[in-house]
Amino acid sequence: MFRLPIRSMSTAARQKLRIGLIPADGIGKEVIPAAKAAIIALGSDIPKPEFLDLMAGWETFTRYGVALPEETIHALRSDCDCALFGSVSSPSKKVVGYSSPIVALRKELDLYANIRPVVSVAPQAGQQPDVDLVVVRENTECLYVKQEILETGANGKEARATRLITERASRRIGQMAFDIAASRPRKLLTIIHKSNVLSVTDGLFRETVRAVPSLPEVGGIYDGVTINEQLVDSAVYRLFREPQVFDVMVAPNLYGDILSDAAAALVGSLGLIPSVNAGDDFIMGEPVHGSAPDIAGQGIANPLASIRSAALMLRHLGYTKGADRLDVAVDQVIREGQTLTPDLKGTSTTSEVLDAVLRLL
């Protein structure tokens, strides 16, 4: 069970917990309602939840000409304490006027950290999991700034993309990663980079993260954290060969995206991997899986990653009892193995898996 350290968001008494729901596209429309039902089932362990249904995504773009309406951004900023995002479908070819709404949301709300725990479920409660690591992914820059141009030159068409790495973004994602590493038993942080080739961009990321423990405002609180480094290509190799060597991994945006999706194979399915998009003032849960258009609407999407994402979100807000109940219920459903969706070699439907979780709650 992954425990995200509580940062600046206080646990001040709330009469109500206002949660924005953004199912977006594909199976997001099936798994976000499941997470909502699980949250409601927590009863008095959290403030009374109120849900605000919000729009974003490719379908929103095709209907209204905008993928992320201003109304959604305004509601998240003004009317919500937190949010859950489902999944987004994006075309593989450039569509004029369209840009990924989840990338835009992370920038608009300054959700600079994408935190993705990958933890296997031990055969018996209380046993140590075989895989227990956290990918801390910088969430606002790298190649995902989406500054691309297409020109025609002497060699025909030439495509270029800008990769942005800044000291500010690297410092604060480094500090988030050190916070998480310091809160875990092993206290081990691995910096993922490719600075042997990209000596300027990855070099800046590496050097800035390494310097975090020396910042004047830190004051020695990370002295117990061991710092390792790993080139991103060899990190993927070691991830599959010996995942136990990793505890907390911190990476630029693109590397973190690839590493966390790859790590999902170690525990059985992307349908199990949760995440939160975290900033200093807002938190948004988001299952790691995509919109899965091949199974959308069939009622067989795995809801467990969205329920785990809700648990991460609640824990970050300080509601640890409710978050723990969600995690224990999900782990028990996986451990029993009787009610699983096809991605986990089961035959159950989304609603049947949800019902199994709700019974345990």
Where helices occur in the chain by DSSP H, the ranges are 28-40, 58-64, 70-79, 101-108, 167-182, 201-210, 232-241, 253-264, 304-316, 320-336, 350-360
Q: What is the CATH number for 208?
A: 3.40.718.10
54 part of a folded domain: yes
What pLDDT, on the 0 to 100 scale, is given for residue 168? 97
Q: How many domains does one find in the chain?
A: 2
Backbone angles phi, psi at 276, to 5 degrees: -130, 145
Res 10 pLDDT > 80 = no
Point out the catalytic residue in the list 261, 280, 324, 355: 261
| pTM reported for the whole predicted model | 0.91
Domain boundary among 231, 266, 301: 266
CB 71 within 8 A of CB 344: no
124 part of a folded domain: no
123 part of a folded domain: no
pLDDT tens for each residue of 292-337? 999 999 999 999 999 999 999 999 999 999 999 999 999 999 999 9
Point out the catalytic residue in the list 79, 223, 233, 281: 233
Average pLDDT on 110-127 reads: 89
What pLDDT, on the 0 to 100 scale, is given for residue 127? 77
120 part of a folded domain: no
Q: Are 105 and 11 in a shared domain?
A: yes
62 part of a folded domain: yes
5: pLDDT confidence band, cut at 50, 70 and 90? Answer: low
Average pLDDT on 230-242 reads: 95
233 is catalytic: yes
What pLDDT, on the 0 to 100 scale, is given for residue 218? 86
Q: Are 164 and 80 in a shared domain?
A: no
Res 36 pLDDT > 80 = yes
Q: Are 150 and 41 in a shared domain?
A: no
194 is catalytic: yes
Point out the catalytic residue in the list 112, 144, 255, 319: 144
**Residue 197 lies in domain:** 132-266
Res 178 pLDDT > 80 = yes
237 is catalytic: no
Q: Are 90 and 5 in a shared domain?
A: yes
Quick one: angle between helices 304-316 and 350-360, nearest 10? Answer: 40
